[in-house]
Amino acid sequence: MPPAALRLSLASVAVLLLAACASPPPVYDMETFQHESPFVTWSTREPAAACELGKRALLSQGYRLEGTDMVRVRGEKFFQPKPDEGITLNITLVCLPSNVGAVIYANALQTRYALKSGSTSTGLSVAGLGSISLPWTAAKEALVKTGEETVTSPAFYRRLFSLIQTLDGTRVDGIELEVGDTEP
């Protein structure tokens, strides 16, 4: 093997090794499965009644609800922070029985879209003459998904659960109420 080819081969191997070392760890290695979670809260109501409060909370914030399941609520809200950008926020609430009434699990998924342009040209084929390409273009714009992620902000879920507790009548302006109280 000539020295130049050997140096090129060694350089290629070195680049590949550096690239392998620089790759991010797998996502599942970062998953911690912690006991404390921002995605959960408890209610003294039964699961169907707790999910009804979740429906009211989402509706009060402009979310469009999907489905009619008594213990699962899915809400969707659209945002347009820039003229060529769109964001969809999907929130799912699942209400299950617990020893105090119900446990409410929440999950929010944020999907980002961008307006992308594409163009097409038109071709024409005429029998006997052959193919003719016309410089006729048509621009088309479409929203294209550019990213999607689970919302993991504890503050986001605290605000959602606080609203649900306020609608439940167990919290008014940040003050916990005793069962049976109507005012702080």
pLDDT confidence of residue 67: 86
d(CA 181, CA 184): 7
**pLDDT score for 166:** 93
pLDDT of residue 28: 84
pLDDT at 19: 58
Q: Which long-range contacts (CB under 8 A, 24 or more apart) does 68-73 make?
A: 71/47, 71/95, 71/96
Q: What pLDDT is recorded for position 65?
A: 97
Low-confidence ranges of the chain (pLDDT < 70): 1-22, 119-139, 170-184
pLDDT, one tens digit per residue, over 103-133 is 999 999 999 999 888 766 666 666 666 666 6
The confidence score (pLDDT) of residue 31 equals 83
HSE-CB of 72 using CA atoms within 13 angstroms: 4
Give the single-character DSSP code of 127: T
Q: Which two tokens stand for residue 116?
A: 């992308």
